[in-house]
């Protein structure tokens, strides 16, 4: 059994709300198999606890979530990249679906950097509050990849012009822009106080009312999962196994520009 002090995800319940904290700052709360497993257990615990009215998802360190843990692929150099990609994609698909299907609202409290797969988590939350230290970016195209599975939760949140810009350019943007394009609920100087206001409002809703109302807001996202997830998973596996993606990830680890930036 993993010692509590060594967990990547912390889970606490107080005053009718569960706080789920991404707590692996050593790798910028990257989406590893371990973090996904612990996060899914935390959501299951919240779902099973009748005393929990809603979930607050937050983080330690200066990064909310840096996206996929690319070091997992580097640690198994003999493994088939496509197979590893398929495994990661399945994990992420299941995790995002569980966010959407949880019969309780999920409120994200962010005051740090959000990249790639972390954007998928943001898109899957029902309410998102971001503080002044928050930055956002979809960086997959710069690695020879695409935001395949996470597009299921991110694209429905964005205006079409914003999606076209940030999916393609990988540009970084701040909380005010994230609010303007629909990615987050509120940009604020004090995310803790804003989340407390939202929780006070949620406390006025009945468990049944909250669960059924959430279904209305997530039913189309879940329909997209049923329609598109298999095709997007295949795209993700194909891209992760490609020569360009290998160059992009190698350049990332070596802290250099990939060859297409250098004009080679």
In a domain, 229, yes or no: no
Q: Is residue 260 part of a domain?
A: no
Average of pLDDT values for 82-92? 81
Question: Is the residue at 250 inside a domain?
Answer: no
60 in a domain, yes or no? yes
Rounded to the nearest 10 degrees, what angle do helices 81-101 and 117-124 cross at?
Answer: 20
Owning domain of residue 164? 4-190
Q: What pLDDT band is residue 241 in, cutting at 50, 70 and 90?
A: confident
Match 């520009």 to its residue by tokens. 257
In a domain, 125, yes or no: yes
Distance CA 1, CA 157 (A): 38
Phi/psi region, residue 255 (left: phi>0; alpha: psi -120 to 50; beta: rest), is left
pLDDT single digits (tens) 200-237: 999 999 999 999 999 999 999 999 999 999 999 999 98
Would you state the pLDDT for residue 79?
A: 66
The CATH code of the domain that includes 103 is 3.90.226.10
CA–CA gap between residue 66 and residue 172 (Å, rounded): 13
Average pLDDT, the chain: 93
Of residues 149, 138, 150, the one with CA closest to residue 177: 138
How far is Cα 60 from Cα 23, in angstroms, rounded to an integer?
5
Cα distances (Å, whole numbers) of residue 195 to 54, 110, 135, 186: 12, 10, 18, 9
Instruction: For tokens 């990547």, name the residue.
Output: 8
pLDDT given at position 170: 97
- Look at residue 39 and tell me whether its pLDDT is greater than 60: yes
pTM: 0.94
Q: CA 18 to CA 88: how far, in whole Å?
A: 26
Q: How confident is the model at residue 73 (pLDDT cuts 50, 70, 90)?
A: low
> Is there a domain that residue 116 lies in?
yes
* Residue 200 belongs to some domain of the structure: no
Domain total in the chain: 1
Residue 120 lies in a domain: yes
pLDDT value for 1: 45
**What is the pLDDT, as a whole number, of residue 84?**
75
Nearest-angstrom CA–CA distance, 235 and 133:
33
- pLDDT in the model for residue 88: 83
């Amino acid at each position: 059994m993993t010692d509590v002090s060594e967990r990547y995800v912390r889970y606490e319940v107080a005053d009718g709300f569960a706080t789920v904290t991404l707590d692996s700052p050593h790798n910028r709360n990257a989406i590893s198999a371990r973090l996904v497993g612990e996060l899914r257990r935390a959501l299951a615990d919240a779902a099973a606890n009748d005393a929990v009215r809603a979930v607050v998802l937050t983080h330690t360190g200066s990064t909310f979530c840096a996206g996929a843990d690319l070091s997992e692929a580097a640690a198994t150099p003999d493994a088939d990249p496509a197979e590893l990609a398929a495994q990661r994609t399945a994990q992420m698909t299941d995790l995002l679906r569980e966010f959407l299907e949880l019969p309780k609202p999920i409120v994200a409290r962010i005051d740090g950097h959000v990249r790639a797969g972390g954007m998928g988590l943001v898109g899957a939350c029902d309410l998102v509050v971001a503080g002044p230290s928050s930055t956002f970016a979809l960086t997959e195209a710069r690695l020879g990849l695409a935001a395949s599975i996470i597009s299921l939760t991110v694209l429905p949140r964005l205006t079409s012009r914003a999606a076209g810009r940030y999916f393609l350019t990988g540009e970084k943007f701040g909380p005010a822009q994230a609010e303007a394009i629909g990615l987050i609920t509120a940009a604020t100087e004090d995310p803790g106080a804003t989340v407390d206001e939202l929780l006070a409002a949620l406390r006025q809703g009945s468990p049944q009312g909250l669960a059924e109302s959430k279904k209305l807001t997530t039913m189309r996202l879940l329909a997209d999962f049923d329609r598109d997830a298999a095709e997007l998973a295949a795209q993700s596996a194909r891209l992760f196994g490609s020569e360009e993606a290998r160059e992009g990830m190698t350049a990332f680890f070596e802290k250099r520009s990939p060859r297409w930036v250098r004009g080679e």
